């Protein structure tokens, strides 16, 4: 008589632990790129209500950032190709640069610069860790469609894309502000 298949006996070798199994499936750098960016998305999800209270546009932006980061992490875990690589650089890098800019300049829909807080430090550190892992994967030729590029070139691409995306988001925020005044903070 045949027994019913079990998840653990069919997919995991009982003599290995779960972490070893995960690491053997893909390069550990894939995990190191995906998890911190997903974690930053989770942090953004937890911070969204707080930001929505002072400026609904900020809360919506945090919620959208959370969804995009978590979705990207899942997609990158499943497929390490050129498109998901560049999307990851643009998402994480753009959010890091945008955060840094809004510590110096007032954010759209707000009247003062943002403060440096624990949630920001945790999410930006996570995003930077994910970006470093992405750059390392690409420099090792482990991203489909990207090979033979120097680490310097990959780093320059990441920095340029990060500043470009952050600039677009910042300008777009100010362009939408007069069209959506109800999303501004109460004191704006």
Task: List strand residue ranges (DSSP E) for 78-167, in order.
Answer: none
pTM of the model: 0.81
pLDDT for res 187: 58
pLDDT for res 16: 52
The answer to whether 120 and 99 are in contact (CB under 8 A) is yes
CA dist 81 and 133 (Å) reads 14
CA-wise closest residue to 36 among 93, 81, 114: 93
Q: Is 180 helix (H, G, I), strand (E, B) or coil?
A: coil
pLDDT for res 122: 95
pLDDT for res 52: 84
pLDDT for res 126: 96
- Residues in the chain predicted with pLDDT less than 50, given as ranges, are 1-2, 4-10, 12, 14, 21-24, 188
pLDDT for res 188: 47
The answer to whether 40 and 126 are in contact (CB under 8 A) is yes
Residue-wise pLDDT for 4-52, tens only, equals 444 444 454 545 555 554 444 567 888 889 999 999 999 999 999 988 8
pLDDT for res 10: 45
């Amino acid at each position: 008589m045949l027994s019913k298949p079990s998840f653990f006996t069919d997919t995991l070798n009982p003599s290995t632990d779960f972490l070893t199994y995960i690491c053997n499936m893909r390069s550990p750098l894939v995990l190191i790129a995906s998890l911190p960016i997903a974690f930053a998305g989770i942090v953004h999800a937890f911070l969204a209500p707080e930001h929505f209270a002072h400026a609904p546009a900020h809360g919506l932006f945090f919620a959208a950032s959370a969804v995009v980061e978590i979705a990207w992490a899942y997609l990158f875990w499943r497929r390490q190709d050129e498109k998901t690589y560049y999307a990851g650089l643009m998402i994480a890098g753009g959010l890091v640069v945008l955060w840094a800019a809004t510590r110096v300049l007032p954010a759209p829909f707000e009247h003062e610069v943002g403060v440096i807080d624990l949630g920001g430090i945790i999410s930006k550190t996570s995003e930077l860790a994910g970006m470093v892992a992405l750059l390392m994967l690409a420099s090792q030729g482990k991203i489909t469609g990207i090979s033979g590029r120097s680490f310097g070139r990959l780093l320059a691409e990441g920095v340029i894309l990060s500043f470009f995306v952050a600039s677009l988001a910042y300008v777009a925020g100010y362009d939408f502000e007069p069209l959506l005044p109800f999303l501004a903070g109460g004191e704006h």
